[in-house]
Structure formats: structure tokens, C-alpha cells
């Protein structure tokens, strides 16, 4: 069993800990004292110093915020790290940036998980750095498979992945939020509106997941000519919902590129 080190155990680091601890031996490094107490109480994990973690683990997950990455990397100076695999979930931090900052022939895998990883229903895209091997990708996949599904992409597609799945839950929650508001405007109570919308999303996704039909085909099955669904969809199409989605995801992709450190 590989020993995995997680540097930073906030929302996403904590999600990885919750999923991966069933399969791996985990060591964590977390500077927030409140969070340390939480990790000890909930997961019975005692936070170690960063240097102790690096000594103990051959696989290190960098789960810190992008703005804190340089402060963490400064603490790597003078340590023997060549044989270690670093897996970074810091948004916008490229494999090239980490390779240059850490130095040596370190192995780096970059990952873009998303929020549903908190309930082991996430999707994570991973890509490898120039010194990394296919085995490194297998190791990373085995970790992120504990919090959902993992896909392998080229690094030049990570900004696109960020726009689709990284930010995707935000779009979905916005759609749900607005649909609930609209349902309440039709006279439904907050609870009934919320239950109807959430269950409709949940059931629709489950049906799509277990069906051989595409989303388009299922949508057409619901939409009778001249019926209620068609009336609503006509409004969406008139407002050019297809254009809105393309523009929104393009904006997210563009912003992801702007924030990147290469």
C-alpha cells in the first residue's frame, strides 16, 4: 500500500482524504489549527509537519490554493525529492511551473477535480508532466477514482476541462437556483418548488446515466409537439440558450488561461 501525503486539507484536500483513506495510508500537513482539530476528530488523522510528510511519502498531493503554492514550494528547498510523484490540484499551476520551481527530475501530475468529489461523485481530469510516466498517471487515477471518475487529457486541454467540469457545478446550481425561483413565482411553496426541481434533476441525470439514449434523444422524448415542454423550450431557444452556453464556457476557459502560471 502506497503512503500518500496531502499538503493542505481544506475542502478538496479533505474530500481526497475522505475517499482515499479507504485504500491508502494517508499523511496530512495542515497549518490551520481549527482544521487540524477537525481532521483528528473526524478522521483520526494527526497533521504532520511538511518536512515530515515529505520524508514519509513517495506520493504527495498538493491541495493548497494557487496563491499559497509558492510559500509551500519554498519549504521544499534542500530536500531530496527526485523520486517523488507530486500531484497538484492547484488551479492554473502548470506542470512546467512546478518542475521549474521544485527542480530536479521530479514527476508531476496535474489534476482538476470538482466539488462533487466531496461525496465521491466528482470527475477529475489529469495530465502528466514531461518527466512523468504512464504509471504515474495510474497512481493518480487510483487516488482520484476514490472520489469519483478520472479521465486523462493533454495539458493543453486543462483550461477547457476547467470551464466544463471544474466550474460546471456552479452553472448547474445557478440553473437549479433560477428554476426554483421561477417555480415559486408560479405559486409553489419554497419546499415544494425545491423538492420538485432537485428530484427532477436527480432523476433525469440517473436516467441519462443508465440509458443508451443521448441527452438530445431523451429531451425529444419529453417534448411533445405543441405541448407544455415545447412551449418552454421555445422560450429557451428564442433567448439563444445555445449561444449563451458557448459564450459562458468560452469566458471560463479564457479566464483559466489568464490565471495560469507557466
Average pLDDT score over residue span 150-176: 97
Q: CA–CA separation, 260 vs 224, rounded Å?
A: 46
pTM of the model: 0.90
Contact indicator for 110, 127 with CB cutoff of 8 Å: yes
What is the Cα gyration radius of the chain? 21
Average pLDDT score over residue span 56-79: 91
For the chain, the straight-line distance linking the first and the last C-alpha, in angstroms and rounded, comes to: 33
Q: CA–CA separation, 69 vs 24, rounded Å?
A: 24
Is residue 226 predicted with pLDDT exceeding 80?
yes
Average pLDDT score over residue span 51-58: 91
Q: What is the DSSP string of 174-204?
A: HHHHHHHHHHHHTT--HHHHHHHHHHHHHHH
Residues contacting residue 68 through CB under 8 Å, at least 6 positions apart:
8
To the nearest whole number, what is the mean pLDDT of the chain? Answer: 94
Average pLDDT score over residue span 73-82: 85
**Ramachandran region, residue 189 (left: φ > 0; alpha: ψ -120 to 50; beta: rest):** beta
Is residue 1 predicted with pLDDT exceeding 70?
no
Domains of the chain from N-terminus onward: 3-154 (3.40.50.720), 168-259 (1.10.3730.10)
Q: CA–CA separation, 93 vs 63, rounded Å?
A: 12
Confidence of residue 89 (pLDDT cuts 50, 70, 90): very high
Is residue 141 predicted with pLDDT exceeding 80?
yes
Backbone angles phi, psi at 106, to 5 degrees: -75, 155
Q: What is the DSSP string of 125-191?
A: EEEE-TT--HHHHHHHHHHHGGGEEEEE--GGGHHHHIIIIISHHHHHHHHHHHHHHHHHHTT--HH
Is residue 80 predicted with pLDDT exceeding 80?
no
Contact indicator for 152, 124 with CB cutoff of 8 Å: no
Amino acid at each position: 500500500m502506497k503512503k500518500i501525503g496531502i499538503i493542505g486539507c481544506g475542502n478538496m484536500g479533505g474530500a481526497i482524504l475522505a475517499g482515499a483513506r479507504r485504500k491508502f495510508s494517508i499523511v496530512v500537513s495542515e497549518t490551520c489549527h481549527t482544521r487540524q482539530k477537525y481532521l483528528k476528530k473526524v478522521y483520526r488523522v494527526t497533521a504532520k509537519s511538511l518536512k515530515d510528510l515529505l520524508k514519509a511519502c513517495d506520493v504527495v498531493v498538493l491541495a493548497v490554493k494557487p496563491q499559497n503554492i509558492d510559500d509551500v514550494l519554498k519549504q521544499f528547498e534542500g530536500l531530496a525529492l527526485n523520486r517523488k510523484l507530486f500531484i497538484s490540484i492547484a488551479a492554473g499551476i502548470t506542470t512546467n511551473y512546478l518542475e521549474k520551481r521544485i527542480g530536479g527530475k521530479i514527476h508531476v501530475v496535474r489534476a482538476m477535480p470538482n466539488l462533487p468529489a466531496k461525496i465521491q461523485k466528482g470527475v477529475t481530469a489529469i495530465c502528466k508532466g514531461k518527466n512523468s510516466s504512464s504509471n504515474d498517471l495510474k497512481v493518480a487515477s487510483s487516488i482520484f477514482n476514490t472520489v469519483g471518475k478520472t479521465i486523462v487529457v493533454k495539458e493543453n486541454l486543462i483550461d477547457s476541462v476547467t470551464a466544463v467540469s471544474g466550474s460546471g457545478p456552479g452553472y448547474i446550481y445557478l440553473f437549479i437556483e433560477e428554476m426554483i425561483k421561477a417555480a415559486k413565482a408560479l405559486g409553489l411553496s419554497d419546499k415544494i418548488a425545491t423538492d420538485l426541481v432537485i428530484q427532477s434533476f436527480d432523476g433525469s441525470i440517473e436516467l441519462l446515466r443508465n440509458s443508451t439514449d443521448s441527452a438530445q434523444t431523451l429531451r425529444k422524448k419529453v417534448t411533445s409537439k405543441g405541448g407544455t415542454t415545447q412551449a418552454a423550450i421555445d422560450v429557451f431557444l428564442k433567448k439563444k440558450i445555445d449561444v449563451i452556453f458557448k459564450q459562458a464556457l468560452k469566458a471560463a476557459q479564457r479566464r483559466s488561461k489568464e490565471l495560469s502560471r507557466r
